[in-house]
Amino acid sequence: MPMQNQPMNVALIQRSASTDPQENLEATISDIRRAAEQGGKIICTQELFRSQYFCQSEDHANFELAETIPGPSTKAFSQIASECGVVIVASLFEKRAPGLYHNTAVVFDADGSELGLYRKMHIPDDPLFYEKFYFTPGDLGFKVFSTRFGKVGVLICWDQWYPEAARLTALAGAEILFYPTAIGWHPAEKAEYGEAQHSSWETIQRSHAIANGVFVAAANRIGHEGDPDGGIQFWGQSFLCNPSGTIIAKASQDKAEILMAECDFSTIDQQRTHWPFLRDRRIDAYSPIVNRYIEQS
């Protein structure tokens, strides 16, 4: 059962990735153990932490990076969750069946049990982010996982831009929304667009916290990956914000960090009664939202 009215530390793992999946797994497990030693209770990895961000190109060889669930990584996470008594949100490249792959997050409770999966619903297809080549859109809907330390909602990277995803996950009972992430700048564009791009990314997620009265936690990677003359410069800056949208902890652009902050889920009720956005929703008027576009006569 979730622990009620007890503030607890939430930790995000921000790091660079090597080309060796096993090395990345071992380094992330080591970071989780360190986070637990520092008092972390709910710990989240960055998106697709086991490899460098392979979606910069459409290459069939990259499907070899995928693994089944259950598989080697889920076994390792189950063991460390049980050993340390922590909840873990782990982002994996899932091989579901031959020719069927997902960008998936797995949630483990503090006893090591696997609580379930969230499969990324929104799949981008932009320059250097060719995810539609690799990932089938999620088919599990928007999920909430009742853990020992609270009700955890998980969305993944591109899902960040969709208020509908945050709203539905919050309405299902999430107290905190986790966004495992791999996002950065095209280096040639950074000088002109970089500040605005990062500001938009941070602002949209803070708005999810405000609109829904929940905590939000985004775990990003760091480092340059890909073509030395191009590629992606991941901007790090993982952060946690409270239900008022105030950032309570933020990581650097370029350093490996275990980012941690105390989250008190008992404050959610106070936030929602003072700013009663959920109370005042006009659910009788929202049916057009399911349309792709609303034509005006």
Domain range for 272:
8-277
The tokens describing 210, both together, are: 């405000």
State the total domains in the chain.
Answer: 1
Q: How far is CA 56 from the centre of its chain?
A: 19
Within-domain flag for 90: yes
CA gap 63, 93 in Å, rounded: 9
The alpha helices in 65-186, defined as continuous H runs, are 72-84, 163-171
Q: Quick check: pTM over 0.85?
A: yes
Show contacts of 69-74: CB within 8 Å, 24+ apart.
69/94, 69/96, 69/104, 69/106, 69/117, 70/114, 72/25, 73/25, 74/106, 74/108, 74/114
Residue 285 lies in a domain: no
The 3-class SS string of 237-285 reads CCEEECCCCCEEEECCCCCCEEEEEEECCCHHHHHHHHCCCCCCCCHHH
Identify whether 114 is a catalytic site residue.
no
Looking at 95, 120, 143, 151, which residue is catalytic? 120
- If you search the block for the tokens 């659910």, which residue do you land on? 283
Tell me, yes or no, whether 294 lies in a domain: no
- Domain contains 106: yes
The parts of the chain modelled with pLDDT lower than 50 are none
Spot the catalytic one: 44, 55, 157, 241: 157
**DSSP state, residue 233:** E
pLDDT at residue 3 in the model? 59
116: helix, strand or coil: strand
Cis peptide before 127 (omega within 30 of 0): no
Distance of CA 137 to the CA centre of its chain: 16
pLDDT the model gives residue 297: 78
**The one catalytic residue among 41, 44, 47, 202:** 47
How many Cα neighbours within 13 Å face the side chain of 283? 6
Q: Is the residue at 3 inside a domain?
A: no
Are the CB atoms for 216 and 179 separated by under 8 Å? yes
Can you give the pLDDT at residue 241? 98
Which H or E element spans position 144? strand 144-147
CATH of the domain at 226: 3.60.110.10
Kindly list the strands in the beta sheet with 232-235, ordered across the sheet, starting from the edge strand earlier in the chain.
184-185, 232-235, 222-225
Query: What angle is formed at CA 222 by the lines to CA 150 and CA 29, rounded to 5 degrees?
Result: 50
Catalytic residue list contains 120: yes
User: Does residue 175 have an active-site annotation?
Assistant: no
What does the alpha-carbon distance between residue 227 and residue 233 come to, in Å, rounded to a whole number? 10
242: in domain: yes
| Cβ-based neighbour number of residue 20 at 10 Å | 13
Q: Establish if 283 belongs to a structural domain.
A: no
Neighbour tally for 11: CB within 10 Å: 27
For residue 166, the SS3 value is helix
What's the token pair of residue 240? 């946690």
Non-local (6+) Cβ contacts of 137 within 8 A are: 119, 120, 121, 122, 123
Please give the Cα distance from 114 to 79 (Å, whole number). 11
In a domain, 289, yes or no: no
3-state secondary structure of 171: helix
